[in-house]
Structure 1
Amino acid sequence: MLNFYKLMFFMTMMSGTLITISSYSWFSMWMGLEINLLSIIPLMSDSKNLYPAESALKYFITQALASNILLFAILSSLNLSESLSMSHDYLTLILNSALLTKMGAAPFHAWFPEVMEGLNWNNSLIMLTWQKIAPMVLLFYNCYFSMFFLIIILLSTVISGIMGLNQTSLRKIMAYSSINHISWMLASMLNSQSIWMFYFLVYSIISINIVWIFKKMEIFTLNQLYFSLNSSKLMKLFFLINFLSLGGLPPFLGFFPKWLVINNLLQNNFYLMGTLLIIFTLITLFFYLRITFTSLMINFSENLCLKSPTFSLSMVFFNFFALSGLLFCTMMFST
């Protein structure tokens, strides 16, 4: 049963994000971010979380620091004359760094996996999807191709791949996967807002499917995953489809937004960025394939004593959409 305070703070959390993305002034955008922050802290302080106080405290300190830096950049820009172009560039750099810290992009990412480790799957899904919207929308106002954004995109791709290799916690794997997808979203928003929106929508659908499976089976580590997937062939099929789709393999829906991003980068002569994104994303794809192949072939067994999980109609529909989405998208966008 959903408590009233959870519903209230969840609604104010969403309203804070909506205030941020619909505001015309930087100060009201900052206010929306603060409403969003103060609303999610009570949701994180839940007894069902593994480390509720630790995760809430880490998240609050990091987000409060980023908000202070953001407010400093906003107030400094108000008192800045247009002739000081060098100072304006520095303030833009500070402003973008604060927003990147809020969304958890590398190298400002250290808080993100640690906070994710102490949360349950419901709160983890909020961190993976909804909490990324407001900082990314604010980045649109200052997002242009520069060496700073190129370094952020490459660091997010490389660090997420290397740090995700030796993880056994599913929540940390999802966190580093989110950092990898942040690099693709940053690359997509350099030229096209519609591609970013489509990428974020597809990533959210796939993340909902994967977190839904993990929550349904009550698993948090790889060992639990390998053991639990043997109880149901259909659940194993759903997991493999969504995890390979998260990696961006061609037969699945997750490949299509990456295809759009690469095509857009090449059309705008960003050949180096597109090539490096493809190469370094292979590191992330390696541990995706290692997890899926291990669960499919190496740790495969028939456990008839385990109770098979029940499936709802909505869960089957969402997974069917993730399976057949690439076919629908190619039919819609083909010319």
Structure 2
Amino acid sequence: MKMMFYVILMMGTLISISAYSWINIWIGLEINLMAFLPLINSDNMKQSSEVSMKYFLVQVSGSMFILFSFIMSLINSGSINELNSASQLIFNSAIFLKMGAAPFHFWYTEIIEGLSWMNIMILMTWQKIAPMILVMYNFQMNIYFCMIILISMTISGIKSWNQTSIKKIMALSSINHIGWMTATMFLNQSLWAFYFLIYLLISINLIIVFNKYNIKNISNLFMLMNNSKMTKIFFFMNLISLGGIPPFLGFLPKWMILNTLMMNSLTLLALIMVMLTLMSLFIYLRLMIQSLVIKSYNKKMFYKSYEFFTLHLLNWINITGLVVFTLIPNIY
């Protein structure tokens, strides 16, 4: 049954991003929602029913605003083929609400706290594809989108400082990356796709470790790190790659985005984004330093062969990725 819902989930996203009319886009989003709710309830966690209801109410609220923007455009201009400026503002706000971008993020961290790690991976990655592509359809680099970018990066950095929950830290990190991806939607869509793929790879690396050892908070993380030096090294290499420190793979797309922004005379926005990202980077480095100074015991941890191969292959791609890409001529 879960496989069927996964297929419907992907179909809903594909319908939304390939539709020719706004109504079909809305239908695709609703199909995606109806497929994800049973996956939330299949977690068998204490908060599954509560989380599914919260997620349903938030997504339905976003869908209501989307329909309202269509009706408003129909009343004002007699057509919904092209949304007017007021309808575009409402539509984009509803899409950012569905995506979980700040300042519409009030539901995002609470819902992620009650999900399993596999559903968190879906919510942080696949569930962002359709909303982001829909925003691209009527994206213009104006004060509204600049405020969305800066507020997302500011709030994600500030709210991460006192967090002890690993799930909430990952959720706030996802909001930070929404800001980076939003900054390049209109300027270079292929660069957005490249950034999203790198973000997907790093997130999978981290979530594999979190899911395997059932890590929920920082204390669980420190206990895991004391069991295996190799796991500790790979984990923190992925973590600082997520923050965008060279020479790791996560630095490359951010470098390219900053280059694109400056080429399009958005130097001030690029500078502010770098400064705001340092707050999130501080959180990653704090986790890394606190764990590294704790004495490590060499207790053997046994992996299944395919798990060992998958985890270490993904990690080596992440570690050597920047070197490989810089050797490829004319990548950008």
CA distance in 1, matches of 2:194, 2:70: 30
Contact conserved, 2:206 with 2:239, CA < 8 A, in 1? yes
- Separation (CA, whole Å) in 2 of partners of 1:144 and 1:308: 52
2:77 counterpart SS class: coil
Q: Which residue of 2 aligns with 1:105?
A: 101
Q: 1:188 maps to which residue?
A: 184
Residues in 1 aligned to 2:155 and 2:329: alpha-carbon distance in whole angstroms: 33
> Aligned pair 1:12/2:8, yes or no?
yes
Q: Is 1:137 equivalent to 2:113 in the alignment?
A: no
Secondary structure of the corresponding residue to residue 80 of structure 1: helix
The correspondence of residues 73-112 of structure 1 with structure 2, limited to 5 A, is: 73-81=69-77, 88-112=84-108
2:219 alignment counterpart: 223
Aligned counterpart, 1:265: 261
Aligned to 2:323: 327
Q: Displacement of 1:88 after TM fit?
A: 2.1
TM-score (norm 2): 0.95
The one-letter code of the counterpart of 2:198 is: V
- For 1:47 and 1:329, locate their aligned partners in 2 and report how far apart those are by CA, in whole Å: 38
Task: Quote how far apart the aligned CAs of 1:76 are.
Answer: 2.2
Q: CA deviation at 1:49?
A: 2.9
Percent identity at matched positions?
45
Among 307, 313, 316, the alignment partner of 2:309 is 313
Residue of structure 2 in register with 1:38 after alignment: 34
| Equivalent-residue separation in structure 1 for 2:133 and 2:273 (angstroms) | 22
Distance 1:196 1:320 in 2: 23
Give the alignment of 1:163-202 within 5 angstroms. Answer: 163-202=159-198
Secondary structure of residue in 2 paired with 1:312: helix
Number of positions where the alignment pairs a residue of Structure 1 with one of Structure 2: 326
TM-superposed CA distance for 1:190, in Å, is 2.6
Structure 1: gaps (5+ residues)? none
Specify every segment of 5 or more residues in structure 2 that has no aligned partner in the other structure, as ranges: none
8 Å contact kept, 1:232–1:308: no
For each residue in 1:65-96, what CA deviation from the matched residue of structure 2 results, as whole angstroms up to 9, or x when unmatched?
A: 001101111232233328xxxx9211111010
Question: Partners of 1:27 and 1:75 in 2: how far apart?
Answer: 11
Q: 1:232 aligns with which of 228, 235, 259?
A: 228
* 2:43 aligned with 1:72: no
* SS of alignment partner, residue 231 of structure 1: coil
In the other structure, the counterpart of 1:256 is 252
Note closer, same or farther for the CA distance 1:104–1:15 as it changes in structure 2 (3 Å cut). Answer: same
**TM-score (structure 1 length as normaliser):** 0.94
Residue type at the aligned position of 2:223 = F
Q: Is the 8 A contact 1:50 1:119 kept in 2?
A: no
Q: Check 1:50–1:247 CA distance in 2 against 1; reply closer, same or farther (3 A cut).
A: farther
- Alpha-carbon spacing, 1:47–1:264, altered in 2? closer, same or farther (3 Å): closer
Cα distance, 1:267 vs structure 2: 0.1
Q: Which whole-Å deviations, capped at 9, do the CAs of 1:265-312 have from their partners, x for residues lacking one? A: 00000011101100111001000110111112x2232153x6454543
Indicate if the aligned counterparts of 1:231 and 1:308 stay in contact, CA closer than 8 A.
no
Out of 200, 220, 244, the position equivalent to 1:204 is 200
How far does residue 52 in structure 1 lie from its aligned partner after superposition? Answer: 0.3
Partners in 2 of 1:186 and 1:333 — Cα distance? Answer: 27
Q: Deviations over 1:190-233 (max 9, x none)?
A: 30101100000000000000000111122111000011111111
Structure 2 distance, partners of 1:48, 1:201, is 30
Q: CA deviation at 1:334?
A: 5.0
What is the Cα-based RMSD across aligned positions, in Å? 1.6
Q: How far did 1:48 drift?
A: 3.3
> Does the CA-based 8 Å contact 2:229-2:298 persist in structure 1?
no
Distance across 2 between alignment mates of 1:53 and 1:164: 26
Q: Is 1:159 matched up with 2:155?
A: yes
In structure 2, how many angstroms separate the alpha carbons of the residues matched to 1:300 and 1:156? 36
Counterpart of 1:25 in structure 2 is 21
